[in-house]
Structure 1
Amino acid sequence: MRLSRGIFRKNVFRKHLALFLITILVPTCLFLGVYMYGYANNVKESIVSASNNDMDRVSRNLDIFFENTDRIALQASLNPSIVEMLNRPFEKSAYDFFVVKELLRGWTSYNSLFQSVYIHILQNNKVLTTNEGLYSLNDFYDAAFIHEMDRLGRSRYAVWTGVRRFHESTGVNTVDSDVLTFVRIVPVTEQTPLGVLYINFNKDVFLQTIEHLSPDSLGNIVVIDPQNRLASGPVDGLDAEAVARELQPGQTRTDVLGHGPNKYFITASKSAVNGWTLLNLTPYEAYSGQMSHILLKVSGIFAAVLALGIGLAYLFASILYGPWRRVEERLQGYVLKTFEASKGDVYAVVDHAIHNLIDTIRHNEPVLRDHLVRDLFHYPHPQDDRTLRDRFAEWGVPFEHPYFIVIVISGELRIADRENESRYNLVLYSLAEELLNTRFQAAGSVLGKVQFAFLLNTERSELQEETIHDLEACCQDIVTKAREHLDVSMHFCIGGVRPLHRVHEAYEQARRVMAYKAFLSHSGIFYANEWNEPQQFEYPASYQKLLLNTLMTGNREQAEELISDLFHRYIHNSRYPLPKLQQMLVMLMSHIMSSLAQEGYDIGPLVDEAGLLNLQTSGNSLELQAFISNQLKSVMDYLEAVREQRQISPYIRQALTYIEGKYKENISISDIAAAIGISSGHLSRLFKAEVGKPPLEYLTEYRLEQGKQLLVDSAQSLNQISEAIGYNDVHTFIRFFKKYEGTTPGEYRKQWM
């Protein structure tokens, strides 16, 4: 006993543990992985953001520095003494050169950043320095650099900037130092240069200026000149100059470079304006340290979740053992008294109980068959047709052929009989099943209130003439028998022929058609495959406008003609989508109601009494047309009754008579007011209050109504029609027609044609 209980607990524990791993642990691992990935991206983004901020600051300092240097070159180009010296150097005395030298010295002496400044005079090949005076180029201590610039060509050294090793003469000896040199052609304002300005800055002071740090502790910024030479100090384990050579002007890139303790996050940017490259170095430990911390945290969470899952799995296994044991005892002591099983073998007991349950199910085959048929109608079935047909055979319906016809039957009871609807449901279902089985092998299901669906077995994949004849004969027999016993009308829809695993498609087609039976022909048998929906449906806006105007004028004969034409065009002899047709009528009737409400009519009693939107009470399209016609008659009766109650003043009656008699002429509101003997303002107020719109708007609508009659009933041109209804030109007629009718007169005439 203890051994079997231990085995049971272990099995249950394994199942719960597996369930935990699938439902909790795996999603937890995915969540933690996504969390770590997002955290790593956030850390990287913060590093890159900080690097960009530092480089932006240094880049702005560089730009300011270069602007100041260019300002000196421009100042030299605009100074008369310097320009005069460059233009006529052979005419200048030693004193003149001294004046220029002192001028340059005055510009640069105020700032320790400048190391030396000199001008190479191109005409006499002399060099004037701020410290030593005038040199011949061949005797000048920095002649090698000048010759190097000259070899580059003026197009290159016109804006040359770079870091170099400078050999400066102090009068006694030559001192080597690292300098930042700016080379600019002067004058910059002329096309032909006369000289070249060389400005040398102390590199260490330059770096302090742009970074506000000492050269030995430049921080995490590396500065590289346009020639891809280091301006700042070298970085262990990193070829910064190679990184600069790979960058294109204007490009910014972030990489991880180096190895071991010299591994960095590097954000590199090369200016498209001045060609200088800035590298921001962040030690990789700044990233790896944070990731190690979050990894330790995530590992702790994972371990806690795993330990909790193992504990809960064991706890649930222990808790569930008791109820299972009690079920076993109950089955052995009550349900399975004849069962001989090893004492304590829970699985054997439950297995025997399942076999007894299957025996019980066999006594309920009709119910199971009904549920299977219903499932086949509503859902695609995963089993193959052979397996499904075997199941039907087990439940007493041996289907021999591979294809099935779907037929949906719907009945309409009288209102007085609806109290016995459940009893009629069973009677009609049994009647239909019995008659269908006389010609086909059938299985069906009750779907709802007086609505059933059946599967009819057939050997062909399409409806043949003989099969159609048998189907219609069965339907007629059902209708005849139903009328003999019950006062009920029946509708039948054939959904098509499908294999067993696809009968839900045919049922869906039939169900959709049956839901819109009010829009179908008067015949009680429909074929769903005839109602393939086209791709486009155009709402009959012209009918809507004409129908509303006809109702407002009370023309019953014209309203009846419009409804007949609408049903003939869209419903009786068309294949438009049935849902679209229902929406069309609902929108049409809703527009009429809303328009009446906008005109000031109280439509509450009209809606309550007429029930304009209850379209599904009709059994077919002819009944639906009669229903809509009756509702429109009710609307016109209501409008006539309301108009009889309204009292129109004599002034307004005279104004209406005048407008309807003179609409063909070019009349104004002043003409109308003068004809009835009141002021224009008083007429406008009275007319608006009693008619609901201003006189000129009423005049426009009346003209357009006459114009529509001429468009439909005559072959006159638009010019002739516009003159006949009182417009001076056709453009005014077209503009008002499109504003009020939503279409042009030509398009309106085409729609009617």
Structure 2
Amino acid sequence: MTAKRWIPRKPNRQFVLYFLSFFLVILLPVILLSLSSYKLMYSTILDEIRQGTSNAMKQTGLSADRLLLDVTTLSVQLGLDGKIYTSSTNVEDAYLVNEIRDRISTLAAENGYVQAVQIYFRKNNLILSSDAPNRHYANQVNDGWIRDFSVSGKEQLWLPTRSFVDQDGNTQRIMTLVRKFPVAFPSNTGYVAIHIFEDRFYELLKMAGADRDNRLYLADPSGAVLSAYPRLAGEEDERMAEQAASLIAGEERGNRVGKFGGQEALISIGDPLRNGWTIVSVDSLDYLEERLGYIRRVIMLTGFVLVALGSVISFFLSRTMYNPIKRLFEKAERVQKEFALPASSDKPGSLVDVSGMVDQLIHRHKELEAAYEIGHSAMVDRFLYQLFYNRASGDLEQRVDDMRLPITPQGFVVMIVELDGYAALRERYSASDLNLLRYATHNIVQEIVSSRYVCLGTEIADNQIAVLANIESAAEFDRVRLAEMAGEIIQAVRSYLNLSATIGFGQPVDALADAHMSFQQASDVIRRKLLTDDRKALFHESEEHAQAFQYFYPVQLEKALMNNIRAGNEQQTRACLEQLKAELKGKPGLSHENVYRVYHRLIDEAIDLAVDAGLAWENVFGEGNVYRELAKHETIESIHLWLEEVFLNVIVQLRDHLRSPSKADAAVAYIAEHYREDISVEQIADAVQLNPAYLSRLFKQSTGKTVLEHLTLVRLARSKTLLRETSLNLSEIAQQIGYNNANSFIRFFRKYEGVTPGEFRKLQGQASKPEEE
């Protein structure tokens, strides 16, 4: 067991990924912080060195300028000396020459930086030296300064550093300042030369080169390196001097970091001195690395410790992350096999695959949950429907448990919430809007009722919601509490939906199986809201059920109402309707059907009256279905107002109809125009827009004859005229007065005149052609 535990195993890719991630997250900031700290310290020290070097360069330049100024001042003094000028014009005076030689020897001795002072007299080429015997100029190497100054043509000239061998055989390096004399005069009688030891400049250079790793170079205006400190032996010194000369030849001044002599160094180039010379300072940065070595070692040691610590922490964090994920992978593999899930990616066994598998399971769960919700809601609605209409079978308590309904086994009351004026809402809103209104109403009812009772609700009609409230027991039926709840529902529906609602309550029952009785009572009471005024919460009373079977119809009131409409008596018509409303309200036991039946019959009678009078249906009742309009009104008050408007409109239409030109006269005119045709009473009634029976009564009242009698007389009079005044035969006369054949005309004529048409013509003395009988 132990041996197997320590057998090397191939590392898991996921574990390695976690380890590297944690390792980088922990160590990368440490490494960056260490590097940044080291870089910051390096930059800080380098800046301090730059600042120190700049200050040293300025101090060196000032010191060198002071020395050069002293030398220049000394040369001016010699150039203004009258004795020297006198000697230059009287060179034969040995005494005066020796006095001048003593003078310059004294000056050289008094100024330690002066190697020698020499005077050249042009008149006789004599050279006086403070450190050598007098001699004449013979163009020797050591006297090259005379030649260089003569060629320059300047008042003053600094000559480059040169080497020479003194009397003791030592090689000396000197810098020379040459000036003509007398100073400030146009004449030129000779030259004064002051030779300065280069070593004195070393003393100045040492002031800026106290550090052992610092090197200084002095270059003349041509860029040639005059001296260096400290000096190096051999070719290395020459090579570094050449590099310094190339730096001076450039135009860049100030300091910068770069390579010098193969090493990293801080290079500083100062401004030109009074005589045009330039100082270059080179500070090696190797010693800076040495100074920072301790700090670097501390940082490296700290980094190593942190790397080791980070590795350990990364390992344990990786194990902490990997072990649960490993178990997740194993469980995901089992779930995939158990539910036959397809691979969700092309990388099985990865987090991407597990994520896809979880998505599939969530999707399946949502589908099942949605299907269950839909099915459960439908099951609850079906259960309540069966319960309310007494069609539930089986063990009700078991069904309640199976559907996990929250109700208890006993104590129930059914309430029905009905939206008022739903027929009008159908005309105002679309089907989708009505669905939203019903849904909102259902939510309001469910929320308010469930805040007081355990309840179940369902829609039983487009405008009705039935709620089964669990009141624990019928004995605890609290009518006041239910009325308050109904008022809150009605107020909420009015506030949020701007709708009106009526709520009916049945009697409480103890058993769930008897809920259908409470539902039926709630249905009855909600239907009898027709006879209530403003009562919106209606409770079923036990004595109402017996009275609901009464029947009522006001026959005498109906006759009086129709007579008043025919007579056009608006006031009496209103009075009849008020009386009808009072009688209906006085019989609260009347059923919903009975009340509507009364109004239906009154509308039927009004329709018959209007039709008999020949009124157009659209003018009286509009283009809609009058019975459907009646059904839209849900209370006596609403029906009364609408019916009063309809009946008064019938009266107005009748009055206008009778005031129009006489229908009897119109019928007489129609007969006079169409008596030649085979017309009937129905055709004449249609022509004058009256009912045939009503036209007959109206025609009889107006003319004293029936319509057919008047038609017969018109035809008879016309036939007599034709018999007297024309020679038309009987067949032609018969056709002109509306008869199809002569026989019918003969029988008609004989019936009314007692003779045949032929006999009548003979009696009138007209025999224009033979008569045909």
**TM-score between the two structures when normalised by the length of structure 1:** 0.40
